[in-house]
Structure 1
Amino acid sequence: MSGNPQKGRTPEQIRASNKRLGLILLGVAAAFFVGIFIRQVFFA
C-alpha cells in the first residue's frame, strides 16, 4: 500500500502540544467569562 509509517512523537513534542491546547482552551474559557461579566455590568 502507501508507504506512510506513523512517526512517533517525542514526549517533548507531546508536552508542547498539550500545553498549546491547554492555553487555547484557557483563552476560550476566559473570553467566555469576560463576555458574561461585561454583559452583566453594561447591559444589566
Structure 2
Amino acid sequence: MSRNSQQRRTPEQIRAGNKRLGLILLVVVAAFFAGAVIKQVWFST
C-alpha cells in the first residue's frame, strides 16, 4: 500500500482522523471497564 505523494492530507483531515481514533479508543476502554464492572457485580459471590 504505497502513499501517493501528490495527495497530502490537510491539517483539518489529520485532526478529524485523530479525533475519530481518539473516540474509538475511548469506546474500547469504556467497554473494557464496563465489562470488568459488570463481571465484578454479576459474578460476585
TM over 0.5: yes
Unaligned runs of 5+ in 2: none
Instruction: Tell me by how many angstroms 1:5 deviates.
Output: 3.4
Unaligned runs of 5+ in 1: none
**Paired-residue identity, %:** 66
Q: Normalising by the residue count of structure 2, what TM-score does the alignment of the two structures yield?
A: 0.84
CA distance in 2, matches of 1:8, 1:31: 34
Aligned CA-pair RMSD: 1.3
The SS at the match of 2:8 is coil
Instruction: Tell me by how many angstroms 1:42 deviates.
Output: 0.6
Structure 2 partner of 1:16: 16
- Paired residue total: 41
Structure 2 partner of 1:27: 27
Q: Give the 3 Å change call, closer, same or farther, for CA 5–39 of structure 1 in structure 2.
A: closer
* Residue identity opposite 1:26 in structure 2: L
